[in-house]
Amino acid sequence: WKDEVMAMLHEALLYSFAHAKVTMVDHHTLMKSFYAWYKSEMKHRGFCPGNWKWLIPPLVGSNFDAYLGLNKMTEYTLKPAYVMSPGWRRYEKEAFPASDTEAKRKRAVKMALTIFAFGKLLRIVRKVRPSVLILYASSGGVTRQFAGRLVTIMKPDT
């Protein structure tokens, strides 16, 4: 009986929104649209993170292909990743050839001061420059194209 009450409540809510001329999309239509977009993302990017529990409709969600198709969806938190370049030893040998130790020390001090100065300048520039995070989301995936165009417009010339 509780499922029946929830279905009636849902129908009443949709009716009240329609009566107020507010457009609403039901879970099932939205799920079909999302699942088509999800398949496209998997084909193009190879992954699509999300929260399966929030995406599947609350009532009769198991009627969809997406019910089992999304249950292994990647769910994670993005964190900064620091990855060391594999060829750093070659650059070390170029910068510090096996000659006398005094020249090595002077070069190391110069390099450290240069890196320090560059870091200080970079911090100043980053304080002045506004940082922008472009987020996109839609039921049909159209905003992905707009976000891509926005990235190319805002990307600084380097």
Distance CA 94, CA 27 (A): 61
Contacts of 6-12 with C-beta under 8 Å, sequence gap 24+, read 6/58, 6/59, 7/59, 10/59
Instruction: State pTM to two decimals.
Output: 0.39
Over residues 97-143, the pLDDT tens digits come to 666 677 778 888 899 999 999 989 888 887 887 777 777 777 766 78
- The pLDDT value given to residue 99: 65
Higher pLDDT, 131 or 89: 131
Over residues 130-155, the pLDDT tens digits come to 777 777 777 766 788 888 888 888 87
Cα–Cα distances (Å) from 107 to 81, 89, 96, 110, 117, in that order, read 30, 16, 8, 5, 15
- The pLDDT value given to residue 77: 47
